[in-house]
A and B are shown apart, each in its own frame.
Chain A
């Protein structure tokens, strides 16, 4: 039983890393602009399909396809922002409808371009087993978990130490005051979307490398990312990482100790429980107190 639980905790940790990668981009835009980008999952999916094309057509390792995914997904993220920025009235609500529609368009575009067949990497290197004593995983899971930690750390540094990161936080606190301080809010928000695009690119390649992709996946990814963002507390990057790992471990332990049929339910129970006890999310309370 100990071996089962250890493996379960390890699997949950790695899955949590992947969840964090998906959620970080959504959390950034949500935290800084109060915009819930419902097309975020589709942007992640787009990156996954770019990795598929790079591997199947040009024989590139999915890791090597990240630069191509960055270009295409960041360009798409900019396009999404340009459309969102045209909303003049009730931006928070109207952007929901707009990005939901964009998500549908992207899903169908993916379906037309890449067909409905399921896809995943054929890289033996990424699929090889990594064995650490009684713990087993695929190499891709370890690689992207490390990448996820690095990106979360990098994002935290960028938001707290860099000029643009501070500008993003200033715009999110008070758009007009930030403007008076000489910050261009449009450019700052655009940068947020581009950074979210970078995160979505890596997340998409991670999913393609360790799981299976299909055109209908984007919506489920958005929901998962949204749950983690709310669980974490709006705008909290460490919270996203912790919330994602907590969700991954809860789901994994549910499979081992109860039934895998209850996995999704367990995730939702955790979500409701955290919100019941800490209505501002795991890290939202501390922010409010600060």
Chain B
């Protein structure tokens, strides 16, 4: 009795399974896999930031493929070893491998020649790793980026103006992107009546005491702006902790500073230091898209996401969505991807993104974070703030 009754149910189950299998089979037949290339520094001087961005790109692949849009993305990665000539070679190899577009690149000096190589191959190149103004002055048709110097300068200058300081010493690395940013911040501050002194330094220097001594004895500045990279910040802050310039009320840096890693690795140097930050630490996302990114990131890497991953994720998701749209409307094979990407108008986890004729994102504006009690709080602009800023305040 029992056995006879189970027969019709088993038949129904088999029929259902067959139907599902057929449906999936037909769906799989329609789905197409697109290969996206990534030329990115995984070794050499930019290894840390390159690896950070790649994590975000891989999360984007994971999230996009899980959406079941009918198309999937596969990533082909080549390490450019932080060398411009190898970045060009990587792009040429990826073009030869017939990738449909490129997402990656770090450092304006690498992105410049790499994106020119992509342009020659007719490949769309999207990045968040190069903020130099020169990159978008070249008039390339296939070059896109989601962040720029203007957005960083606006945030740094905005914070200083809110503090109502009378003078700021800008200590900056002579690299292309940092020099451009330092000069943009200087122009903005001077336009608001703040006295600015500029101190350029060679990227190879490790002892910042002679520079900070000038700030202490000659400039007597109320604020120090650091425009460099992590190793520079550590050197500058250590020199400042030794020399203790008494006039200084705030120390403000730019990228890679207001991060969980810096809070954990250099707890004695970071208290009350400011830096650009898209996320507070511990990470807290208000939007559903942000939470989706954070969940996927934590699942893949077992750690909290950082800004490098966040930027890598956004640039890649916008590219993958454009590939999907272009594939569906039949323009992908006819070189229509860049045009499709240019039509982007999306609210993302770094804010609104659109692209102008030069591939730049005119909406990009950063936020400022401050190290407070081992955490990073967003303190500027007011609309994004998670805590009031601790001002005046310096690590010494």
Contact = CB atoms under 8 A, between A and B. Distances in A.
A216 interface: yes
Contacts of A256: 210, 213-214
Interface in B229-246: 230-231, 234-235, 238, 241-244
Per DSSP, chain B at the interface is: helix
A288 to B, nearest CB: 32
Given A127-B268, A137-B242, A4 B217 contact: yes
Contacts of B231: 118, 212, 214
B261 interface: yes
Interface in B193-215: 199-202, 204-207, 209-211, 213-214
B174 A4 contact: no
Contacts of A212: 206, 230-231, 234-235
Contacts of B242: 129, 136-138
Nearest to B41: A116
B82 interface: yes
Contacts, number: 113
A122 B210 contact: no
B53 to A, nearest CB: 12
Interface in A245-290: 251-252, 255-256, 259-265
Contacts of B47: 111, 116, 214-216
B217 A122 contact: no
A8 B209 CA distance: 8
Interface size bracket, A side: 35 or more
A7 interface: yes
Interface size bracket, B side: 35 or more
A120 interface: yes
B266 interface: yes
Interface in B258-276: 261, 265-268
B305 to A, nearest CB: 16
Nearest to B200: A261
Nearest to A259: B200
A251 B82 CA distance: 27
B202 A7 contact: no
Given A4-B214, A137-B209, A216 B45 contact: yes
A252 B43 CA distance: 31
B282 interface: no
Q: Which of A7, A116, A137, A215 has the most CB of B within 10 A?
A: A116
A211 B237 CA distance: 11
A11 B204 CA distance: 16
A260 B211 contact: yes
B217 A261 contact: no
Interface string A7-29: 11001001100000000000000
Interface in A22-58: none
A252 B45 contact: no
A268 to B, nearest CB: 11
Contacts of A137: 209, 242
A3 B217 contact: yes
B348 interface: no
A262 B205 CA distance: 10
A129 to B, nearest CB: 4
A115 B48 contact: yes
Contacts of A251: 205
A255 B206 contact: no
A126 B376 CA distance: 26
A262 B200 CA distance: 9
Contacts of B199: 259-260
Given A127-B241, A212-B235, A214-B231, A116 B48 contact: yes
A14 B207 CA distance: 10
Interface string A184-213: 000000000000000000000000000110
Nearest to A265: B202
Given A212-B235, A259-B200, A117 B261 contact: yes
A117 B261 CA distance: 9
A220 interface: yes
Contacts of B261: 117
B44 interface: yes
Contacts of A113: none
Contacts of B209: 7, 11, 136-137
A261 B202 contact: yes
Contacts of A111: 43, 47
B73 to A, nearest CB: 26
B30 interface: no
The 9 closest A-B pairs by CB, nearest first: A116-B47, A116-B48, A261-B200, A255-B210, A260-B201, A212-B231, A216-B45, A129-B242, A264-B202
8 contacts: A118-B231, A129-B244, A136-B209, A216-B45, A260-B210, A261-B202, A262-B202, A264-B205
